[in-house]
Homo-oligomer: A and B are copies of this chain.
Amino acid sequence: MIENRRQVRTDGTGNADILETAAQCFMEQGFSATSIDDVARRLGATKGRIYHYYSSKTDLFFDVHREGMERLFQAVEPVMGIEGTGVVRLRAMLTAHAMAMMANAAFEAVVVQGVHMHRMAATTPDQRRTLDDLIAIRRRFESLFKQVLQEGVDDGSIRNVDISISAKAMLGAINWLSVWYRPAPDETEADRQMLAERIVTTQIDGIRS
């Protein structure tokens, strides 16, 4: 039964709406301040609909978290393989990451919250496993940047910095977008691109040889 609910995750009927709405609520009010009824009301539905797909509020949150991570990977991984030195590829990855943070503000805000929850007391063993999975995914994401950073150091395009600290600082500067970034009413893709490139340029110039 629970396994069925898990599998429903990626089919695109009412589920995508639930995920999107839940992401909005979690972004605005946080996990524990958001009630299932809040999400349902915003959907124009009732709890029944949500509990039909998700067996608990925590599971719903985790699924939003997972979707947020998937979107980050889909944004960053493709540009990871482009031609160029380490610094060129890293710049492209960071820019893609920043763009994804803005394009999926709600989901990525949940991802940021999820990082905070790493120490959370996940009630059921099943949830604990899911949480550990998410932590591992997050680590893998960070290691993408560390890897290219290292390659940049090796090919001489990046200074000999502390990989781990530099990665955390750069990703921090970008992730911090989820704290202060709010889409302007008449904002275009080009505006976001400009913003992303300015942030990334500062970070890149801090480590380039």
Contacts and interface: CB of A to CB of B under 8 A. Distances in A.
A201 B159 CA distance: 12
A165 interface: yes
Contacts of A198: 161-162, 165-166, 169
Interface stretch (A47-55, A76-84, A111-119): A111-119
Interface residues of A, number: 35
A38 to B, nearest CB: 12
Q: Dominant SS at the A interface?
A: helix
Contacts of A175: 172, 176, 179
A165 B206 contact: no
Given A30-B32, A165-B199, A203-B206, A176 B180 contact: no
Interface of A: 28, 30-33, 112, 115-116, 119, 161-162, 165-166, 168-177, 179-180, 195, 198-199, 201-207
